[in-house]
Structure 1
Amino acid sequence: MNKLSIVIPAYNEANTIHLILNKIMAVDLLDDIEKEIIIVNDCSTDDTAGAVANYCAKYPGVNIQYFEHELNKGKGAALHTGISKATGEYLIIQDADLEYDPQEYNDLLKPICKGFADVVYGSRFMGSNPHRILFFWHTIGNKFLTFLCNMFSNLNLTDMETCYKLFNTKLIQGLSLRENRFGFEPEVTIKLSRIPKLRLYEVGISYYGRTYDEGKKIGWKDGVRAIYCILKYGLFGAK
């Protein structure tokens, strides 16, 4: 039986992580695929650790692996840890907030399980699923970063910055990934584009975005870093 490794980078998500875990557990994956949940606590200053411990105590049968960073290293570093620990045939990235809906895992799994894809991105900018209306300049920034990344990767993605990226696990574990923060997104995309005969698909997903008051963390500095990473790995071909 195949297994899906769900990698959750968590930083100060004590208020929501139990809710996202409930949503993950409520999903029945196609083809009876099992779930492996990998939580990487990136040195949270709130009680994220306690929230996870309470959940594991309440539901001891849930397959949760929990890891902690002693220092805050960033989302990318948490993903590196989670990816390295994954044992499933497939791997998906899941933020610990409630912006993305685990009920859509099967939409991303279908192209892989049917033998069409090696990697599937969930796009917030295509399809008819609900999307919360929030920040104009964030949308423009996301589309600009995707456009710039497409220029240097020769892809035609609509949403490079999406959280929902589903991989063949051996493929993602075989990449040398260096970016510790939000530069992970362009780095992994550009490095995937260099793999001969890679089959990359997109599917439309919903998006229940947060405001900064609700806990959103990404800012303009992360956008600048993303541009730097696109140039570093795309234009200059850094390994």
Structure 2
Amino acid sequence: MLGFASSLGQLHKAVQVKHMEIKEIAPSQMSTNGVHEQPKTKLPMITVITPAYNEEAIISKNLQRLCDYMERFENDYRWEILIVNDGSKDKTAKLADAFAQERKEVRVIHHAFNRNLGGALRTGFANALGDYIIVMDLDLSYAPEHIETMMKKITDTGADIVVASPYMPGGKNTKVPKFRLLLSKVVNRFMRLTANSDIHTFTSMVRVYRSDFLRQLNLKSNTYSIMPEIIYKSLILRGHVEEIPAHLDWSFQEQAVGRTSSIRIFKGILAGLMSGFIFRPYAFFMFTGFLLLLVSMYLITWIFINTIGIIPELAVGETFFDDRFSRAVAEAFNRRPHSFIVGGVTLIVSLQFLGIGFLSLQNKRYFDELFHINTTNYRNLLNLQLGQNTDKKDDLHA
């Protein structure tokens, strides 16, 4: 009897387990025809951010062009367009809202006042829903076709950032004012040297980012300098930055009647120079210090050689060499006092610049280390919170 009861109990448990397995599978993974199906995974999402400031002349037409282009990605990606109206004083806000009402993929965020490019991008980054974040200039001076090339590059290489670069080999510029183009190339070359990087274009706004990497950077700039700031902080974190050859085409600028550029050229150039200084501040101090040191060494060497040459001219009266050498130095000073003054001053100033250079080098390394540590801690905190949220969801469904 005991053996029979035990067997009956085991059979009852087995039936319960089997019933639970069937119950779990039936609602979620069984189709209407009884065939087992795998749950569908969501497609990755792209957010295209377009800052807008006084763009009433082009906003409707270019948004339509951008939407038409993004529709070709619907089999591979979900997508949205996020317009950041940066305190426009014309009809940009009204036109953007009207366009968003007709397209469910388009959202608009309004700034009550102008916060400049950096502020607009930071707002866009904070509100983007995509796994990939693409920034496009609303004038489409970089054609929408760059999006496909950048997406292919970031997925093929596993990069964190891909920059559309008109200045790398294969890049192209059309109808950009010569003076503006020259200044832009000089500033980007300058930043490339100071950053000690292979990146050709630091100022291009058109890029694609992995959103999880971008949100680690803790961006602060409200101006155009946010573009090199992103690159700078990415390099500190050993981020993987790639470029694609791009075509910067200003042909449509002449047709956009009533449109004013949101980027002030000289402010952009100044921001680029300051960004180059931030990349390697010690290099400027050390270069200046070594240059002044060379000047002072030349003058001091000239003084020494002339002093030695004066010694035989002196009357033989002193027994000791140091007495004759002192008289020779005094005579050299009487003949060329400016050499002593300039040589001494440049030597002192060069040592000061070199000292500041070494201190700034130490400070930069300290900052880089702290930024890296804090970013790592922040990332680990986000991952922990994400894991806790996932556990809570699992408990709710259990």
* Normalised TM-score (structure 2): 0.55
**Could you tell me how far apart the structure 1 residues matched to 2:279 and 2:194 are?**
9
- Per-residue deviation at 1:129? 6.8
Aligned ranges 1:157-196 → 2 under 5 Å: 157-196=199-238
The 3 A distance-change label for structure 1 pair 153 and 126 is closer
Give a deviation string over 1:177-223, Cα, whole Å, max 9, x none.
11111111111111111112x22111112222236975333221221
1:52 corresponds in structure 2 to 96
- Worse overlay, 48-57 or 82-91: 48-57
The question of whether the paired residues in 2 share the 8 Å contact of 1:20 and 1:98 is answered with yes
Say which structure is richer in strand: 1
TM-score for the superposition, normalised by structure 1 = 0.89
Once residues 106 and 51 of structure 1 are traced to their aligned partners in structure 2, the CA distance between those partners, rounded to angstroms, is 27
CA contact (8 A) 2:150 2:162 kept: yes
Q: Which residue of 1 aligns with 2:44?
A: 2
Please state if 1:204 is matched with 2:245.
Answer: yes
Amino acid at match of 1:32: D
CA distance in 2, matches of 1:127, 1:110: 19
Whole-Å Cα distance in 1 between the matches of residues 58 and 231 of structure 2?
28
2:162–2:244 contact (8 Å) kept in structure 1: yes
CA distance in 2, matches of 1:222, 1:110: 30
Structure 1 stretch displaced more, 229-238 or 101-110: 229-238
Q: Relative contact order: is structure 1 or structure 2 higher (C-alpha 8 Å, sep ≥ 6)? A: 1
Question: What SS does the corresponding residue of 1:145 show, helix, strand or coil?
Answer: helix
* Structure with the bigger percentage of helix: 2
State the one-letter code of the partner of 2:176: L
- Contact between 1:30 and 1:106, CA under 8 Å: does it hold in 2? no
Q: Which has the larger radius of gyration?
A: 2
Find the counterpart in structure 2 of residue 150 from structure 1: 192
CA offset at residue 174 of structure 1? 1.2
Cα deviation, 1:28-65, whole Å, max 9, x if unaligned, reads 238611211111111000010111122123x233x122
* Displacement over 6 Å in runs of 4+: none
Match of 1:33 in 2: 77
In structure 1, list runs of 5 or more residues that go unmatched. none
Superposed CA RMSD in Å reads 2.2
Matches of 1:29 and 1:207, distance apart in 2: 23
Q: Deviations over 1:6-47 (max 9, x none)?
A: 111110011111222112212223861121111111100001
Q: 1:74 aligns with which of 116, 119, 122?
A: 116
**What is the CA deviation profile of residues 89-109 of structure 1, one whole-angstrom value per residue up to 9, with x for unaligned ones?**
111111121312112201001
Cα distance in 2 for partners of 1:129, 1:188 equals 21
Identity of aligned residues (%): 22
Q: Retained in 2: the 8 A contact 1:149–1:234?
A: no
For structure 2, the 5+ residue unaligned runs are 1-42, 282-359, 372-398
